[in-house]
């Protein structure tokens, strides 16, 4: 009796499992379980590249391709999405000249969602979700050049937002893109990958920061006095 009960239970479970597997997936379920990585053509302004970029093109493309392989290895099936990725090369010195507005070269992936529309699986044409790995560039971390300050003080300064997190010891930043704090439309998260134990910049201490501020005040004061004296020489009563 007990043995017969156990056999019946096992038979029921096997039948239940087979019955579950036999169920066809809905259109929505199929869309959610689809996932594909697609390589796109390079974005490259032919004939306009800087000589340094051309001379290092083989190394550059190898680096970007290694990033692409890393993404695919870490997430072989991007469920519910078609990720179109490729290399983007800018017509600048991609090796030695950081550009605060455009990455010299980068990995760019667009995450396009699969959707079930009228019982048919379609993929989006546009997406707000991108995967970006930029090189020789701080811009995506919220970097801003201190152009006026550098001109006055003959320094090489720039601004970075406060570090908000870290990934395996690498500093992470969250800066606002396409909007102000009162009206955030998109958040940008970035991680600065650098040589072990060596940042590509030297942080400024609080004392150094205030010293720089005093130097700027002195510079602006001297410049204002000079401009006033020039106006007095021209006959203005100030």
Residue with the bigger pLDDT between 46 and 99: it is 46
Which of 9-13, 136-140, 233-237 holds the top average pLDDT?
233-237
Indicate the pLDDT class of residue 213, thresholds 50, 70 and 90: very high
pLDDT value for 121: 93
Q: Which of 7-11, 56-60, 125-129, 139-143 has the lowest mean pLDDT?
A: 7-11
DSSP state of 100: S
Domain residue ranges in the chain: 22-137
Joined together, the tokens standing for residue 16 give 């239940």
Indicate the pLDDT class of residue 219, thresholds 50, 70 and 90: very high
* Total Cβ atoms within 10 A of residue 181: 6
pLDDT value for 43: 81
pLDDT value for 58: 84
Q: Which residue has the tokens 């992936």?
A: 109
What's the rounded Cα separation, in Å, for the pair 61 and 58? 5
Q: Which residue has the tokens 């995967």?
A: 131
> Residues for the chain: how many in total?
238
What's the rounded Cα separation, in Å, for the pair 85 and 38? 6
What's the rounded Cα separation, in Å, for the pair 161 and 165? 12
pLDDT value for 177: 53
Kindly report, residue by residue over 188-209, the tens digit of the pLDDT: 778 888 888 888 888 889 999 9
Mean pLDDT of 230-235: 85
Residue with the bigger pLDDT between 60 and 29: it is 29
Q: Which of 105, 108, 104 is nearest to 129 (CA)?
A: 108
Task: Provide the mean pLDDT of the chain.
Answer: 78
Percent of the chain with pLDDT over 70: 71
């Amino acid at each position: 009796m007990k043995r017969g009960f156990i056999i019946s239970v096992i038979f029921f479970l096997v039948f239940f499992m087979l019955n579950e597997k036999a169920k066809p997936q809905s259109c929505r379920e199929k869309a959610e379980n689809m996932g594909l990585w697609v390589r796109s053509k390079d974005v490259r302004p032919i004939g306009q590249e800087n000589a340094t970029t051309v001379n290092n093109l083989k190394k550059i493309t190898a680096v970007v391709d290694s990033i692409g392989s890393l993404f695919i290895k870490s997430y072989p099936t991007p469920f519910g999405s078609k990720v179109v990725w490729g290399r983007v090369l800018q017509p600048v010195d991609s090796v030695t000249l950081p550009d605060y507005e455009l990455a010299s070269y980068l990995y760019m992936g667009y995450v396009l969602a699969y959707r079930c529309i009228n019982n048919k699986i379609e993929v989006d044409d546009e997406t707000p979700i991108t995967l970006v790995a930029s090189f020789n560039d701080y811009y995506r971390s919220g970097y801003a050049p201190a152009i006026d300050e550098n001109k006055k003080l003959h320094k090489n300064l720039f601004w970075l937002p406060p570090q908000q997190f870290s990934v395996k010891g690498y500093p992470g930043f969250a800066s606002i893109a396409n909007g102000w704090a009162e009206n955030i439309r998109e958040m940008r998260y970035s991680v600065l990958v650098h040589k072990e134990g060596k940042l590509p910049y030297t942080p400024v201490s609080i004392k150094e920061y205030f010293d720089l501020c005093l130097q700027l005040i002195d510079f602006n004061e001297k410049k204002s006095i000079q401009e006033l004296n020039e106006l007095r020489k021209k006959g203005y009563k100030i």
